[in-house]
Amino acid sequence: MSEISVPSPATLPSGWLRLDRAGWWGTFAVTPLNGIMLGIVPINLGTTTARSFDISIWWGFLMALGAIVPVFLVLYLVQRLRYPQPWVNFDRNELRAGRRVVPLTDIVWARLDMFDRQRAHTRMLALRFGAEGGPRASVRLRGRTGQTLPAEVTAVVAEIIRRSLVAVPQTPNDPSGRFARYNYPGSLGRANALEVVLNPPTIDDRAPVLIA
């Protein structure tokens, strides 16, 4: 992964600063569960309706096609509600998302969502982070055409991670965290989260996390 130089924290802007969210495609496509739900829900809806009313399976197929758009809109709305517009204030050391405001030290988890576009030979990346129980934020690290964050935005996101207490979750059955990579696929510790922010891995790099 290539080195990326970022501005010194001393040059970071003061006051409330809005973070750019992942674009509509990145927000939706990078999350594997969205694709699974978009495929399963319409098909189940169509087949269940066809069986319930004893109609041709072809009518069920047409219903499934018609259900794709509303299911997509519902999933997209849920995604937007879960990850409202994030703001950060380094003077006050706070993160704001929606109406929730927390100290940056309350940010305790980070997750990397990844989608490899093999035909285009690009990797889409979105970093999600937040406090226990909210608020949370989502930032696109690498877009569908391979573009990354501007250096000044990278510096802001990196500083948020530096001031956070991000850690990979642990369970009583795995106190050492040896199997955390498998128990919590996509989860990152603070050092690894900072690394992917500064150097977003390309499709030619080893995947930094397991994807569920």
pLDDT band at 116 (very low <50, low <70, confident <90, very high): confident
Q: What is the pLDDT of residues 41-54, one digit of tens each?
A: 888 888 888 788 88
Q: Are strands 94-97 and 86-89 parallel, antiparallel or unpaired?
A: antiparallel
The residue assigned the tokens 């999600």 is 128
Structural domain boundaries in the chain = 15-22+84-198, 32-81
Quick count: other Cβ atoms within 10 Å of Cβ 58?
A: 10
pLDDT of residue 199: 95
How far, in Å, are 14, 54, 103, 164 from residue 74 at the CA level?
A: 36, 28, 31, 32
Residues 60-96 pLDDT 10s: 888 888 888 888 888 778 777 777 888 999 999 999 9
21: confidence class by pLDDT, cuts 50, 70, 90: low
Name the strand (E) or helix (H) holding 131: strand 122-131
Average pLDDT of span 148-154: 89
Alpha-helix residue ranges (DSSP H) falling in the chain: 24-29, 32-52, 57-82, 151-163, 180-183, 190-198
Name the percent of the chain in helix, strand, coil, to the closest 5: 40, 20, 40
pLDDT exceeds cutoff 90 at 180? no
- CA-based nearest residue to 163, from 111, 83, 98, 88: 88
DSSP string, 103-151: EGGGEEEEEEEEEEETTTTEEEEEEEEEETTS-EEEEEEE-TTS-B--H
Whether the per-residue pLDDT at 212 is higher than 70: the answer is no
Helix axes 151-163, 190-198, angle to 10 degrees: 180
Report which of residues 129 and 209 the model is more confident about.
129
Cα–Cα dist 76/19, whole Å: 19
190 touches 161 (CB < 8 A): yes
Q: Which of the pair, 154 or 26, is modelled with greater confidence?
A: 154
Phi and psi at 187, nearest 5°, equal -75, 145
Least Cα distance to 19 among 83, 85, 105 occurs for 85
Q: Pull the structure tokens for residue 199.
A: 């150097």
Give the separation between CA 183 and CA 97, rounded to whole angstroms.
28
In angstroms, how far is CA 129 from the centroid of its own chain?
8
pLDDT at 5: 43
User: What pLDDT is attached to residue 135?
Assistant: 86
